[in-house]
Amino acid sequence: MAPKLQIALDTFDLPGALGPLQKAAPHVDIVECGTILVLCEGYRAVRAIRALFPDKQILADVRIAEAGSTIARLAFEAGADLVSCVAGASLATIEQVCKVAAEFNGEVQVELADEWYDADRARAWRAAGVQHVIVKRSRDREAAGDLSWRPEDMDCVDELAAMGFTVTVTGGVSAADLPAFAGRRVGIVIAGRAIVAADDPAAAAAELRTTVEEVWP
What are the pLDDT digits (tens) for 33-79?
A: 999 999 999 999 999 999 999 999 999 999 999 999 999 999 999 99
Domain that holds residue 187: 4-215
Name the pLDDT band for 148 (thresholds 50, 70, 90).
confident
The predicted-structure confidence for 94-109, as pLDDT tens digits, reads as follows 999 999 999 999 999 9
| Count: domains in the chain | 1
Chain centroid to CA 7: how far? Answer: 8
1 or 203, which is more confident?
203
Residue 145: predicted pLDDT = 67
- pLDDT for residue 13: 98
> Which regions of the chain does DSSP assign to beta strands (E)?
4-9, 30-33, 57-64, 82-86, 107-111, 132-136, 166-170, 188-191
Local confidence band at 113 (pLDDT 50, 70, 90 cut-offs): confident
pLDDT for residue 163 is more than 80: yes
CA distance 111 to 178: 19
CA–CA distance, 215 with 64 (Å, rounded to integer) = 32
pLDDT value for 161: 98
Which has the closest alpha carbon to 24: 2, 9, 7?
A: 7
Among the listed ranges 54-58, 81-85, 115-119, 164-168, which one has the minimum average pLDDT value? 115-119
- Report the CATH number that the domain containing residue 31 is assigned in CATH: 3.20.20.70
Q: Please, are residues 53 and 25 in contact by the beta-carbon 8 Å criterion?
A: yes
Q: In the beta sheet, which residues pair with residue 168?
A: 134, 188
Q: What pLDDT does residue 171 have? A: 86
What's the confidence (pLDDT) of residue 139?
63
Model pLDDT, residue 152: 87
pLDDT of residue 144: 67
DSSP, collapsed to helix, strand or coil, labels residue 210 as helix
Q: What is the pLDDT of residue 142?
A: 67
Tell me what percent of the residues of the chain surpass a pLDDT of 90. 87
Helix extents (H) in 55-200: 68-78, 91-103, 119-128, 139-143, 151-163, 193-196
